[in-house]
Chains A and B, each alone.
Chain A
């Protein structure tokens, strides 16, 4: 179907090539998995296969790509290729062009010139297939990250192209949603579609994959069968020192005698009609490492926004270190609670890393030599000391995430809240992130991390709180959770990375 022959590629202004002498054939009806670290050239390979490099981006291209026995460069641009190839990208927000979910899916169908009857049938089918029917009249910006990804996938599936390329398209989905995508892809494969899945975490799809391509620094390092790949156990496990297991739930029990750092009583929060938090009661003690689990939209982020006063309770109380958040200004609360959001790009704006950290310090009136010390200490901790004068947006995603943490820990809050600290990071990056989290705990910080990644929860959390539809449905120490979850992961093949 798609054949790359000695394909090398260099982006316009770059000096070194992103892909080097790639020889790869994707057969008709095959489900190919492509994996590798960040900056291994995965996305570039996806763009190459779709013909985007030739027709849209340009740059230095060597070798050739054959699609359906024709050179891809000979096709009439993306106009013609888009009838055969569908592609879903990782940034879901940018793939939603219209103002409602139904329109989003429908507009693509209309472009293909389906008859009205056929159009309605496909629309209904795809919406049910991807479980987005209940969202049909919602506007894209009101959806959660996971919901957006499902809609973006639905809009592409609706087009019914022979080839489907997914570039990190499931990064923000929770276990259940990934499972759903898995069964969708399985059915598509059975229907004879050619599918390429590109992800730094392909474990969820090994079962239906035909071959696994391992990319490293722009070259194909190995092509394996999924079974071999599991045995080979990629970098996600091997080569990384297994962090010391936490002493399960010990500090949780011990903590109970101490004063709580966070105390939440009967907290209820509404967003218009939606009951985002429903009578939450919670106490978190000094030195704990708590994981806050739950599906997309279960209220996790809403809850943690109460910990530094970004949200004020509709009813109930949130007490942080003895301060009532409904009357204490955010600028005071941030001295006690450091909240790091999921997307570091939403906070980085300075020209150097040093200035970026200094911004927060200056805000709470730490200046001069005290600030310098705080900056160098925090950079030491996140392992970015050598990059003091680098432009923050030139860092890799993992480094930017760690910089975001550094910005917050420099302010020395006792409580650190991390919202999805490993989303978008590859195995190596997310491991160094988690080692940082453990280090912070050893330094005496209390840590709450919001996540849907069961693997890091199992490996690192001491106490696990699970939320569902705005309620806490489970609050346990790790040991019993880990034991029980082990079974359910095997049952459902949960997200691991």
Chain B
């Protein structure tokens, strides 16, 4: 089974970066992608992230999300085309003369552009976030988040959410097998998916809820709320860190100066 959003052991340049600078870079990418409406800037940013993943040998990891992202993009572009009219009209989804004389659902450059911008935003945010998660040990991620004064409860919530993704996948598989052993055969397609919700999700959710108490107690017993000190020297900065944060910052400044926002 393929695991999603899990740390991958390795020694690429992304692995050796300081988690804080990675978080800063990702935060920068996210802020930039929300504020800019220029598809070129966004495209360059996505390209930059892809190049970084290529350098780190993690492109496969990112490309696994491609199916979802392409689906998302196509829906977004379709949605903007259907709901937004601005700029020149390129053509019609339903050509003139089919139902109406002038054609229905005009495809405008403004709508296309906005759809592309929305899609690229998702690409940039998801890819950069994923690179952060797969190249940072959860314990270091935790240390970094604590170091930038995120409250410990939120940090633990985040780390645990990541940790339990594959466990839920495994457990979902087990539940699926247990139900198969009872002759359960939901069938394929959407109907099957809907029918399988109750036999699979009810045990999964009930088991997860039952688990929370032990999980909470364990964290208390191990002293996560009473950390004596965090060894700050273990989060060292190196050249790549400065380069990464610098790159994102420069892009930001460039965007502001050229008035692309």
- Chain A interface (Cβ within 8 Å of chain B)? 50, 52, 56, 78-80, 82-83, 85-87, 89, 91, 93-100, 103, 106-108, 110-113, 116, 137, 139-141, 152, 155-156, 159, 305, 308, 310, 330-331, 334-335, 338-341, 343, 345-349, 359-360, 363-364, 393, 407-408, 411
| CA A407 to CA B183, docked complex, whole Å | 11
The answer to whether B217 touches A89 (Cβ under 8 A) is yes
Residues of B within 8 A of A86 (CB): 221
30 contacting pairs across A/B (C-beta < 8 A): A52-B217, A56-B220, A78-B220, A79-B220, A82-B223, A87-B221, A94-B211, A98-B138, A98-B163, A99-B162, A100-B9, A103-B138, A107-B142, A108-B222, A110-B139, A111-B222, A111-B223, A139-B166, A141-B167, A331-B185, A340-B181, A345-B207, A346-B175, A346-B203, A347-B203, A348-B203, A359-B184, A360-B183, A408-B181, A411-B182
Q: Given A78-B220, A79-B225, A97-B160, is A345 in contact with B182 using a C-beta cutoff of 8 Å? A: no
In B210-244, the 8 Å CB interface with A consists of: 210-212, 214-231, 234
Q: How many A-B residue pairs have CB under 8 A?
A: 167
Chain A proximity of B100: nearest CB distance (Å) = 51
Chain A proximity of B170: nearest CB distance (Å) = 5
| CA A347 to CA B206, docked complex, whole Å | 11
Residue interface mask B160-204, A partner, CB < 8 A = 1: 101100110111001101111111110000000000001100110
What 15 additional pairs, Cβ within 8 angstroms, besides A56-B216, A99-B162, A360-B184?
A97-B222, A98-B138, A98-B163, A99-B7, A100-B7, A110-B231, A111-B222, A111-B224, A159-B223, A308-B181, A334-B183, A346-B178, A347-B179, A349-B202, A349-B206
Chain A proximity of B3: nearest CB distance (Å) = 8
The answer to whether B207 touches A364 (Cβ under 8 A) is no
| CA A362 to CA B171, docked complex, whole Å | 24
Q: Given A103-B139, A346-B203, A349-B199, is A97 in contact with B227 using a C-beta cutoff of 8 Å? A: no
Residue B159 lies at the interface, judged by CB distance under 8 Å to chain A: yes
The listed residue (B9, B175, B211, B223) touching A93 by CB distance below 8 A is: B211
The listed residue (A87, A139, A155, A334) touching B180 by CB distance below 8 A is: A334
The answer to whether A155 touches B207 (Cβ under 8 A) is no
Residues of A within 8 A of B7 (CB): 99-100
Chain B proximity of A474: nearest CB distance (Å) = 27
| CA A408 to CA B179, docked complex, whole Å | 10
| CA A145 to CA B226, docked complex, whole Å | 29
The answer to whether B182 touches A408 (Cβ under 8 A) is yes
Among residues of B, the one whose C-beta sits closest to the C-beta of A310 is B177
Residue B6 lies at the interface, judged by CB distance under 8 Å to chain A: yes
Q: Given A111-B222, A159-B222, is A103 in contact with B137 using a C-beta cutoff of 8 Å? A: yes
| CA A91 to CA B220, docked complex, whole Å | 16
| CA A110 to CA B106, docked complex, whole Å | 61
Chain A proximity of B222: nearest CB distance (Å) = 4
Can you list the 5 inter-chain pairs with the closest CB atoms, starting with the nearest? A113-B228, A363-B183, A349-B202, A78-B220, A360-B182
Residues of B within 8 A of A359 (CB): 182, 184, 199
The answer to whether A116 touches B231 (Cβ under 8 A) is yes
The answer to whether A83 touches B222 (Cβ under 8 A) is no
Size bracket of the B interface: 35 or more
Chain B interface mostly helix, strand, loop or mixed? helix
Residues of A within 8 A of B226 (CB): 79-80, 82-83, 111
Q: Which of A50, A111, A360 has the most CB of B within 10 A?
A: A111
The answer to whether B174 touches A341 (Cβ under 8 A) is yes
The answer to whether B181 touches A334 (Cβ under 8 A) is yes
| CA A314 to CA B170, docked complex, whole Å | 21
Q: Given A83-B226, A408-B182, is A97 in contact with B214 using a C-beta cutoff of 8 Å? A: no
Residue interface mask B21-43, A partner, CB < 8 A = 1: 00000000000000000000000
| CA A298 to CA B99, docked complex, whole Å | 68
The answer to whether A97 touches B163 (Cβ under 8 A) is yes
The listed residue (A93, A305, A360) touching B177 by CB distance below 8 A is: A305
| CA A94 to CA B224, docked complex, whole Å | 15
| CA A100 to CA B166, docked complex, whole Å | 13
Residues of A within 8 A of B217 (CB): 52, 56, 78, 87, 89
Among residues of A, the one whose C-beta sits closest to the C-beta of B214 is A94
Chain B proximity of A207: nearest CB distance (Å) = 27
The listed residue (A308, A330, A346, A348) touching B174 by CB distance below 8 A is: A346
The answer to whether B225 touches A99 (Cβ under 8 A) is no
The answer to whether B222 touches A137 (Cβ under 8 A) is no
In B1-18, the 8 Å CB interface with A consists of: 3, 6-7, 9
The answer to whether B182 touches A330 (Cβ under 8 A) is no
| CA A112 to CA B228, docked complex, whole Å | 5
Residues of B within 8 A of A96 (CB): 163
| CA A334 to CA B206, docked complex, whole Å | 26
